[in-house]
Chain A
Amino acid sequence: AQSVAQPEDQVNVAEGNPLTVKCTYSVSGNPYLFWYVQYPNRGLQFLLKYITGDNLVKGSYGFEAEFNKSQTSFHLKKPSALVSDSALYFCAVRASGDYKLSFGAGTTVTVRA
């Protein structure tokens, strides 16, 4: 069975400060890892993915994530947060060769001006 843990329900940062949203995963075999963002009353938008290769992945809106195999983590980062980054963030994992994505419970990010 595969699973994702997002240990923080909420993250609060000041605009201009670095933003980190944590994610750890469990999966059999090689993981495919994803981050999605959800703005209020909207569907999920794809941010970035790790499939293979470089452990540092860059995505949309200035976000990046680092894959750490030994710690089974895939933390999302942004060097300088904006108020418009305030949203609900989901980490997801699937095993290679599988269709199914498993999502974490989500982390609400609030960036204050």
Chain B
Amino acid sequence: DVKVTQSSRYLVKRTGEKVFLECVQDMDHENMFWYRQDPGLGLRLIYFSYDVKMKEKGDIPEGYSVSREKKERFSLILESASTNQTSMYLCAGGARGTYEQYFGPGTRLTVT
């Protein structure tokens, strides 16, 4: 079975803090993705990576950055958390040349 894990299920941070969300996949997949999920908006792509040290902006990259130093790990960074970044964050992996993505359980982030 494919597996994508995320470092925390629930996280509470204060406005202005730097926040790291970690994602690890055991599928040896080239592609990894970060989404945020908000009610009524579905999933929106923040960033994705198609190889180590490679990254591309998704639809809503503002206020976020990412890091991919190893193939299995993809980190999402909130440089200075704000209350409008309170959301569910989902990481996904996918193999190059295939089509579907496999999702982690999500991290529910609350910024107060």
Contacts and interface: CB of A to CB of B under 8 A. Distances in A.
B90 to A, nearest CB: 6
Nearest to B43: A103
Interface of B: 4, 31, 33, 35, 40-45, 48, 50, 56, 58, 90, 92, 94, 99-106
Contacts of B45: 100-102
Interface size class of chain A, counting residues whose CB lies under 8 Å from the partner chain = 20 to 34
Chain B interface, DSSP helix/strand/loop, else mixed: strand
Given A99-B31, A104-B42, A105-B41, A44 B90 contact: yes
Interface of A: 4, 9, 32, 34, 36, 41-46, 49, 51, 90, 92, 94, 99-106
Nearest to B104: A43
Given A43-B4, A43-B90, A44-B90, A105 B40 contact: yes
Contacts of B44: 103
